[in-house]
Chains A and B, each alone.
Chain A
Amino acid sequence: MTAVSEPGLGALVGGASRASAPRRRKFDAFPYLLLAPAALMMVIVNLVPIVQGFRMSMLKLNQYTLSQFMGAPFVGLRNYRGVLFDATNPVHAGMLGALRNTALYSLLVTLCAVAIGLGVALLLNRDFPGKAAARTLLMLPWVVPTYVVGTLWGFMWQRDEGIINHVLVDVLHLMDHKPFWLIGSNTFFAIVIPTVWRAWPVLMLIFLAALQAVPEELYEAARLDGANAWQRFVNITLPALKPVIVIQVMFQIIDNVYSYNIVAMMFGKGAGYPGEWGDLLMPLLTRQSFSYWRFGEGAAVSFVMMAVMLVFVAVWMRTFRRSMTDEA
């Protein structure tokens, strides 16, 4: 775009002879100068730590070599082999369970948060008294920091004193006994539900903004053609929202794979153990690399996770490239 200068425009308008022999573009350094500070910051903030982290993943960097830091003994890919394939490696212990939990957790939280966010956005995309107040109130879970969410829900899930069992059993009579949520397999739901609770409001806001950009004429035309509400949703709303949904699902999955705070705070404020059904990859990684002081192996796991997520994002973007660029 920047190369289309006035003479160029003249050439396009004036005739084919000059267009068929384009002039060599003059290099303009000014845009690059404008971008340079941002690019430099990105290199400092992102690239340097990534390179340093990759180097760390090939070092025997532990409690006893930490003071040498980047001068710690080089071990090549041994850390990667250890954390991925050595069943006796302390960082590896429990990883398969955490991987299973993380996959299920990410999928379930994403599905639920997107579904609730979309549903509430549809409800709010119509005029009713107090709409602005309702929208603000519904955003409240999202403004609660995740570590506070973990702490609060940790109290709420308690079997006898927690408000959740009180509501489920004493108020709504949905169950005949109070279940444990923080012990046993229910811990999985104890981490999924607060994450969904905090995630859906921002999705609702994004979907609402997208909904408000859908031309009303499309709905009017559909109504004139006899389309019912479901048909209008499936044939107008969903296609219009598809680019936003595709991007938000991807962001949600990335967020949830890297989820840490809620689990850490709910089970012993980082010092406890979430259990077989509550442990996710990030709490496991933090515990078994930082608390075990196995920083080299921790860096190796981080790079494996980063590689997996890069592949996921690449596949996702490729699969939904058209959806993300298509106009409604």
Chain B
Amino acid sequence: MMGPAAAVELTMWVMPVTTNAQHDVPALLAPWLAQHPGTTVRVTVLDWESGWNKITAAAASRRGPDLLELGTTWMPAIAAMGGLERLSASQLAEVDNGAPYYPQLWKTTQVFGRTGVYGLPWYADVRAAFYRTDVFRQAGVDPKQAFSNWDSFRAALEKINGTTVAGKRVAALAYAGKNDWNVVHNLAPWIWNAGGDVLTADAKHSALDSPQALRAIDFYSSLAVEGLVPANALEKDSDILEGAWVGGDYGVIFSGPWLMRRILETPAASLVRTNFDVAPYPAGPHGHATFFGGSNLAIFKGSRHKGEAWELVKYLGGKASQVQLSQLSSMMPARIDAANDPAWTQRHPAFAKLTAIAADGRAYPPIPAWGPLETVYTKHLGQLAELSSGIGDKYSVPAMRALIASTVVEADKVLEEAN
């Protein structure tokens, strides 16, 4: 009645990595399963909203899947809880000690200040400016010049703001306000490019009140205060704004590779598809870094099939599988060779540009307390967006500084427990 003794069923938790992950992930696993007869994989697709609670509950109870996908900012917390299997020296040797992966992403498989690697990078989220070339053309703005620095970027936004294209009045820039989860990721590149950071070098304190960070926050807020980001964008979430950008409501939006899928789903002759391009963040005084995140794969500490789980993690971390996933999902591969593979770079010129932009990608320090810290930042920076909307209290630099000061107090309290 029973199958051969070697029969193994692995359980795997993933996030909605594609629009139909329940179908696409098994397709991704098919080549590996063909090489491992007798092994089956039961895939459970979590969602980003409830996944965190499910994974932390699993980590606390030691009862969970054999392998799982974790957001890069989640991984240190689950690892620090003892929920993940630390990779052995021989396992690390099998993956060339992480050399094939973007170093920024490789760092997210570790815990800040400790030794040990807890998984492999799976796919990447790299942020860039997506802009409408027809809008820029209509306003007589050279995109190359526009994205060269902050001043030229502001000047370009001022010029394109209110441009009418195909009978539609276009607002210059869209970013989400308090009703969104992207608040910190949207702001972080501006802070980095001003020479600031979200944390101090020892990761023990918030660094949002540094002069550089305050300068960036003021610049970023001023785009909304001056009406270059319309107030009606600040009440929406990223998903709605991306749809509105595809629909031609905005000239520029900062987003990630998943937006490509949305663009490429429009008809081949659509305005957006024939009139868009991708650019790096406008350079600040300290460069044009961008947010670099994504997801990693890890083996659950409580797994009873760690050997098989590692084989599967290793396969999914390999070039062929990462290229295949990028075709299914539009997410950028986490491996450098896969992100430079023609199957990715030649799919559309924008994908190649995203690969180039990733060279300036930065990830947050992989601290276990990032989750709570990000919630503190999201709450307070959301209030900042509300302040810069001009509805209610008026934006001023002292008001912004006061808000950031209270953010830092709350953030430091959260970090205090971690130290």
By a beta-carbon cutoff of 8 Å, the part of chain A in contact with chain B is 62-64, 66-67, 69, 88-90, 93-94, 154, 158-160, 180-185, 266-276, 287-288, 290-294
By a beta-carbon cutoff of 8 Å, the part of chain B in contact with chain A is 49, 53, 56, 59-60, 62, 77, 80-82, 177-181, 183, 231-232, 234-237, 368-369, 371-372, 375-376, 378-379, 382-383, 386, 389, 391-392, 409-410, 413-414, 417-418
Name the residue on A nearest B369 (C-beta): A63
Q: Is A275 in contact with B237, judged by CB distance below 8 angstroms?
A: no
Q: Give the contacting residue for B231; candidates A93, A180, A294; CB below 8 A.
A: A180
Tell me the complex Cα distance, A93–B237, Å. Answer: 24
**Known interface pairs A158-B232, A272-B179, A272-B378; 12 further A-B residue pairs with C-beta atoms within 8 A, sorted by A's residue number:** A63-B80, A67-B82, A90-B413, A180-B389, A183-B177, A268-B180, A271-B180, A272-B382, A291-B371, A292-B372, A292-B376, A293-B56
Tell me the complex Cα distance, A181–B391, Å. Answer: 10
Q: Is A268 in contact with B179, judged by CB distance below 8 angstroms?
A: yes
Q: Is A276 in contact with B80, judged by CB distance below 8 angstroms?
A: no
21 contacts between A and B (CB under 8 A): A62-B417, A63-B77, A63-B368, A64-B80, A67-B59, A89-B413, A90-B413, A94-B379, A160-B232, A180-B232, A182-B235, A268-B178, A268-B237, A269-B181, A271-B49, A271-B181, A273-B178, A274-B178, A275-B383, A276-B383, A291-B372
Q: Is B178 in contact with A267, judged by CB distance below 8 angstroms?
A: yes
B177 proximity list for chain A (CB < 8 A): 183
Q: Is A184 in contact with B391, judged by CB distance below 8 angstroms?
A: yes
Tell me the complex Cα distance, A251–B411, Å. Answer: 38
A287 proximity list for chain B (CB < 8 A): 375, 379
B410 proximity list for chain A (CB < 8 A): 88, 90, 93
Q: Is B181 in contact with A272, judged by CB distance below 8 angstroms?
A: yes
Q: Is B180 in contact with A292, judged by CB distance below 8 angstroms?
A: no
Q: Give the tally of cross-chain contacts (CB within 8 A).
A: 118
Tell me the complex Cα distance, A66–B237, Å. Answer: 32
Interface of B is mostly: helix
Q: Is B383 in contact with A158, judged by CB distance below 8 angstroms?
A: no
Q: Is A180 in contact with B378, judged by CB distance below 8 angstroms?
A: no
Interface of A is mostly: loop
Tell me the complex Cα distance, A271–B179, Å. Answer: 8
Query: With A63-B368, A90-B376, A269-B237 known to touch, is A183 a contact of B382 (CB < 8 Å)?
Result: no
A93 proximity list for chain B (CB < 8 A): 410
Name the residue on A nearest B380 (C-beta): A273
Q: Is B81 in contact with A267, judged by CB distance below 8 angstroms?
A: no
Tell me the complex Cα distance, A89–B376, Å. Answer: 12
Nearest CB of chain B from residue A178's CB, rounded to whole Å: 9
Tell me the complex Cα distance, A291–B237, Å. Answer: 19
Tell me the complex Cα distance, A273–B407, Å. Answer: 14
Nearest CB of chain B from residue A127's CB, rounded to whole Å: 46
Q: Is B386 in contact with A275, judged by CB distance below 8 angstroms?
A: yes
Nearest CB of chain A from residue B85's CB, rounded to whole Å: 15
Name the residue on A nearest B53 (C-beta): A290
Nearest CB of chain A from residue B79's CB, rounded to whole Å: 12
Q: Is A64 in contact with B418, judged by CB distance below 8 angstroms?
A: yes
Q: Is A183 in contact with B237, judged by CB distance below 8 angstroms?
A: no
Q: Is B59 in contact with A183, judged by CB distance below 8 angstroms?
A: no
B49 proximity list for chain A (CB < 8 A): 269-271
Q: Is B178 in contact with A88, judged by CB distance below 8 angstroms?
A: no
Tell me the complex Cα distance, A300–B282, Å. Answer: 47
Nearest CB of chain A from residue B169's CB, rounded to whole Å: 11
B386 proximity list for chain A (CB < 8 A): 183-184, 275-276
Tell me the complex Cα distance, A67–B78, Å. Answer: 11
B179 proximity list for chain A (CB < 8 A): 154, 182, 266-268, 272-273
Nearest CB of chain B from residue A60's CB, rounded to whole Å: 9
Query: With A67-B81, A183-B177, A268-B237 known to touch, is A273 a contact of B409 (CB < 8 Å)?
Result: no
A185 proximity list for chain B (CB < 8 A): 392
Q: Is A88 in contact with B413, judged by CB distance below 8 angstroms?
A: yes
Tell me the complex Cα distance, A66–B389, Å. Answer: 40
Name the residue on B nearest A185 (C-beta): B392
Q: Is B181 in contact with A180, judged by CB distance below 8 angstroms?
A: no
Nearest CB of chain A from residue B250's CB, rounded to whole Å: 13
B376 proximity list for chain A (CB < 8 A): 90, 292
B180 proximity list for chain A (CB < 8 A): 268, 271-272
Tell me the complex Cα distance, A268–B181, Å. Answer: 7
Nearest CB of chain B from residue A184's CB, rounded to whole Å: 4
Name the residue on A nearest B382 (C-beta): A273
Q: Give the contacting residue for B235; candidates A62, A64, A183; CB below 8 A.
A: A183
Tell me the complex Cα distance, A268–B59, Å. Answer: 26
Query: With A183-B235, A293-B372 known to touch, is A66 a contact of B379 (CB < 8 Å)?
Result: no
Name the residue on B nearest A284 (C-beta): B379
Query: With A67-B60, A180-B391, A273-B378 known to touch, is A158 a contact of B235 (CB < 8 Å)?
Result: yes
A290 proximity list for chain B (CB < 8 A): 53
Q: Give the contacting residue for A275; candidates B231, B371, B382; CB below 8 A.
A: B382
Nearest CB of chain B from residue A40's CB, rounded to whole Å: 25
Q: Is B232 in contact with A159, judged by CB distance below 8 angstroms?
A: yes
A184 proximity list for chain B (CB < 8 A): 386, 389, 391-392
Nearest CB of chain A from residue B84's CB, rounded to whole Å: 12
B235 proximity list for chain A (CB < 8 A): 158-159, 180-183
A94 proximity list for chain B (CB < 8 A): 379
Q: Is A273 in contact with B379, judged by CB distance below 8 angstroms?
A: yes
Nearest CB of chain A from residue B278's CB, rounded to whole Å: 26
Name the residue on B nearest A272 (C-beta): B179
Q: Give the contacting residue for B60; candidates A69, A88, A183; CB below 8 A.
A: A69
Tell me the complex Cα distance, A158–B81, Å. Answer: 41
Nearest CB of chain B from residue A180's CB, rounded to whole Å: 5
A269 proximity list for chain B (CB < 8 A): 49, 181, 237
Tell me the complex Cα distance, A64–B77, Å. Answer: 9
